[in-house]
Amino acid sequence: MYLHGTSRINEQGHLEIGGCDTVKLAEQYGTPLYMVDEAHIRNRMRQFVDAFEQTCLSYQVAYASKAFSTLAMCRIVDEEGLLLDVVSDGELYTALQAGFPPERIYFHGNNKTLAELDMALAAGVGLFVVDNFTELTRLDRMATEQESKARILLRTTPGVEAHTHDYIQTGQEDSKFGFDYQSGQVIEAVQYALSSSGLELLGFHCHIGSQIFETEGFSLAIGKMADLCKECLESLGFQTTILNLGGGFGIRYNDQDQPLPVSNYVQAIEDGVRKGFQGREIPEIWVEPGRSIVGEAGTTLYTVGTMKEVPGVRKYIAVDGGMNDNPRTALYQASYEAMLANRGAEPPTETVSIAGKLCESGDMLIWDATLPNVKDGDLLAVSCTGAYNYSMSNNYNRVRRPAVVFLYEGKSDLVVRRESLLDLLQNDQLPDRLKKGQAPHHQPNPILEVEGTGSE
């Protein structure tokens, strides 16, 4: 397992993260446990900011909440001076409860409900990334009624889609998100916004994909977006103030992944922008990474339980979590690395597959991990689980979601407590007629009654 951030093997041969011995963390907090390397998160945020500082661009770096959103995370995003992107009332509520300044929050999503738009307007969020015509007219009407103006970007599909290692340029982008550029939809939306009473158009947004390892896709998309800005200036007199280029910067899950340093992506963005906006005023450039901020900072700790050997085929090792705390292997064929946190110095001797404990054959965490001979009770650490794990976790099989701890300079802090059995019932309601002892239990069964008389 590759050791990211502050992870290291300590003198006892244990995995240590943020100066904390993970074997002790298992004793203190139990397993499964999401462990987060706070220094690594802060470091990644600073890498983006520092890289933009090296350019001559005006910029903002935002964090995409959907990768991992908790009160503690919102505090870190605020402390590091980033903007925050939210896509639901829940993410917005979390940010507001964390005291995140509303003007530094902006709202994404392809189907924001009326209630969500209301909540965001009332909270005074910085801007809305408007996704489609329904939302454009809704937001215009709502802001007009309140005699205010909603600041907006228009989400655009530039016709560039990243498939991790290559890029498809499509004429007509088939996506549920955003206004299509090729067909002229986005220009129509610009015209609407400019003549509206409730909207203040500031610019455009695009997001070409996720876990991207090259800069080419960004360069292509920037070219298209620059053309769009030029067209808006020349034909509508609209000067773009903000150009948001989305997220999607890749991280290293395993040795097949070769992400670029953050500075390379930012350099490519600067080059693309300079080329695209030759001689014209360059808008403020925004990026909104999620995975590349928190992904590598997370490690999940499990306890090994049962094992099963299918002779000549494979050995299954089952842990005390699974697709409820990490659905990515099942959902995306994601590939992870692991190590034994309690025997970190021992060389790997066998290839095993790591299964979860849920009732689903697809509940696998890792196919073919190389580990020392695994025993019942060993602690298994799976790296790179900081993004889209806790945020995608669920209670399938009524399994409780793990706790989350932040590890920083030798101290551990619980930021999400482990769910209790009682938590699982907190939304359940039992109608009176189903309460034990309250309703007649036995209803005569007409079929049985008929059979009874017939046997005479």
Q: Does 357 bind ligand PLP (CB under 6 A)?
A: no
User: What is the 8-class DSSP label of residue 425?
Assistant: H
Q: Does 292 bind ligand PLP (CB under 6 A)?
A: yes
- Closest approach, Cβ 169 to ligand PLP, in A, equals 19
Q: How many CB atoms lie within 10 A of CB 75?
A: 15
String marking each residue 360-399 x if it binds ligand PLP according to CB under 6 A: ---------------------------x------------
Instruction: Find residue 163's DSSP bridge partners.
Output: 166
73: left (phi over 0), alpha (psi -120 to 50) or beta: alpha
Residue list for the binding site:
248, 288-291, 328, 332, 360, 388
Q: List Cα–Cα distances, 68 to 30, 53, 128, 219, 391, in angstroms.
A: 21, 26, 20, 28, 5
- Closest approach, Cβ 280 to ligand PLP, in A, equals 25
Which residues lie below 8 Å from residue 103, measured CB to CB, with a gap of 6+? 124, 125, 126
Residue list for the binding site for pyridoxal 5'-phosphate:
248, 288-291, 388
String marking each residue 166-205 x if it binds ligand PLP according to CB under 6 A: ----------------------------------------
Q: Does 66 bind ligand PLP (CB under 6 A)?
A: yes
- Cα-Cα end-to-end distance for the chain: 73
- Closest approach, Cβ 364 to ligand PLP, in A, equals 23
Q: Using an 8 Å Cβ cutoff, are 9 and 344 in contact?
A: yes
Give the Cα separation of 287 and 274 in Å (integer): 16
Q: Does 64 bind ligand PLP (CB under 6 A)?
A: yes
Of 49-57, 61-69, 133-141, 325-333, the window that binds ligand PLP (rule: CB under 6 A) is 61-69
Residue closer to ligand PLP (CB basis): 259 or 290: 290
Positions of E strands within 18-68 = 20-21, 33-37, 59-64
Q: Using an 8 Å Cβ cutoff, are 181 and 208 in contact?
A: no
To 10 degrees, the CA torsion angle through 101, 245, 155, 104?
A: 10
The token duo for 156 is 């655009």
- Catalytic residue flag (residue 359): yes
Q: Which of 74, 232, 359, 384 is catalytic?
A: 359
Helix ranges, 98-151 (H):
114-123, 133-145
- Closest approach, Cβ 63 to ligand PLP, in A, equals 9
Q: Does 215 bind ligand PLP (CB under 6 A)?
A: no
Q: Using an 8 Å Cβ cutoff, are 423 and 400 in contact?
A: yes
Residue closer to ligand PLP (CB basis): 33 or 67: 67
Give the Cα separation of 379 and 344 in Å (integer): 10
Q: Does 108 bind ligand PLP (CB under 6 A)?
A: yes
- Closest approach, Cβ 194 to ligand PLP, in A, equals 24
Q: How far is CA 438 from the centre of its chain?
A: 46
- Closest approach, Cβ 265 to ligand PLP, in A, equals 11
Q: Does 217 bind ligand PLP (CB under 6 A)?
A: no
String marking each residue 239-268 x if it binds ligand PLP according to CB under 6 A: -------xxxx-------------------
Q: Does 207 bind ligand PLP (CB under 6 A)?
A: yes
Residue closer to ligand PLP (CB basis): 108 or 357: 108
Give the Cα separation of 409 and 397 in Å (integer): 36
Q: Does 289 bind ligand PLP (CB under 6 A)?
A: yes
Q: Does 343 bind ligand PLP (CB under 6 A)?
A: no
Give the Cα separation of 35 and 297 in Å (integer): 8
Catalog residues that contact ligand PLP under the rule CB under 6 A: 64, 66-67, 108, 207, 210, 246-249, 288-292, 387
Catalytic residue IDs? 359
